[in-house]
Structures are given as C-alpha cells and as structure tokens.
Chain A
Amino acid sequence: KAGVTQTPRYLIKTRGQQVTLSCSPISGHRSVSWYQQTPGQGLQFLFEYFSETQRNKGNFPGRFSGRQFSNSRSEMNVSTLELGDSALYLCASSEQGISSGNTIYFGEGSWLTVV
C-alpha cells in the first residue's frame, strides 16, 4: 500500500509569489491534514480536511488555504509568500481523522524556501 505522497519535494520561491503543494493520501483515507515545521516554531497544525470539507483550522493567516478533492487528494496554497514561510510542509492522512484515535501517517514533506 503506497504511503502519503507529497509533491514537489523541494522548491524555491520569491517573496510575494504564491505556491501550491500537493498531497495524495493513503488509499481509503478520507482525512488529510497539513502542518508547518520550522526550527523556531516546531510543528504547527494548519488545517484538516475530511471528505472535501475543512474540519478544523490552526492559527495561521488567511494566506494559507487548502482544499480537498473528491478522490481525497489535497492541495495547500500559500499566497503572497513571506521569508518566514520558509519551512517543511507536511501532509498527513488517516482513515477517520485526527481525534478519532486512528494512526496519522505523514508524508515526507515539501521543503519550501522563500528568497
């Protein structure tokens, strides 16, 4: 069974640009969640989608948005990039969601550098 797949793995963007990251969950998983990881702030929760609906959102500005498609694949978009958005962006999937007690499986992440 394939794991959580994230693309691209590495990317460099310029301040002010926007970026879209993609995530394919494990087959059969309906929950996809996104996280930002930086050396200074550690891991932080961005949002969770379940069956195409955003179920919860962390404390991030509106520049961070996402969506989930009918096949459970998800995308995350960051608009008007700032230097501080440089981070590892992780996607994770689970069968029934974050607080269900199911195991949450993480992808390898997308490394974003903003210059």
Chain B
Amino acid sequence: KNQVEQSPQSLIILEGKNCTLQCNYTVSPFSNLRWYKQDTGRGPVSLTIMTFSENTKSNGRYTATLDADTKQSSLHITASQLSDSASYICVVIQYGNKLVFGAGTILRVKS
C-alpha cells in the first residue's frame, strides 16, 4: 500500500534551535518528493522538490535530504524562528500523477 508516514506528529522547540522532521514512504513508482509548509488557515507553500537522483536540497534555512534506497527523507530547520511555527507536510508523487500525502508534523517554536 502506498503510504507516507511522518514523525514526530508534533514538536515544540525553542527559538534559535535546530530540528529535524522525518518522512518515510512506501510509494512506488517514485517520481519526486516534496516538502511543504502550511500556516494555519493558509494554503501550503513549497519548500523543496527532490527527484530520485537528488540527495540534498536547500531553501534558505530549510534543508531536505532523500535516501531513495531506504525510502526516507528528512527536513532540517536551522536556527528556528517564531515564523517557522506551522505544519510541515511531506508529499510523494508517483509516476502517473498520483500524490500521496503525509499527515504532517506540527511544529511550534517558542520564544
């Protein structure tokens, strides 16, 4: 069954600290993997897109990694800010235009 599992479900960190969010998937055939940030009540915003051959992709303080062999991805946030408080969603896209969404990790950054 095609699934995307994210961990942890929720996370609270202090401003300025780093954190890493995990995404494990069983989706096949794999086309690409995307991380999105979704603020409460808003539409998701794209952070990174990675294809099979890419191991790392950065977008400012966000760095995503992909291990296609173990079917794992991570999103690392450096020097967190209050504005990083949001839901982070991992999405895996299959060939054939099918998307499989993770349930998301809710991140709260405290001052």
Contact = CB atoms under 8 A, between A and B. Distances in A.
A90 B38 CA distance: 12
Contacts of A44: 101
Contact of B51 (A4, A97, A101, A108): A101
Interface in B29-44: 31-32, 34, 36, 42-44
Given A4-B43, A106-B43, A99 B101 contact: no
A55 B44 contact: no
Interface residues of A, number: 22
Contacts of A105: 46
- Interface size class, chain B: 20 to 34
Contacts of A90: 43-44
A45 B45 contact: no
* A-B CB proximity, top 9 nearest: A106-B43, A56-B97, A43-B101, A45-B99, A99-B31, A98-B97, A42-B103, A103-B46, A106-B44
Interface of B: 31-32, 34, 36, 42-46, 49, 51, 89, 91, 93-99, 101-104
Interface of A: 4, 42-45, 48, 55-56, 58, 90, 92, 97-99, 101, 103-109
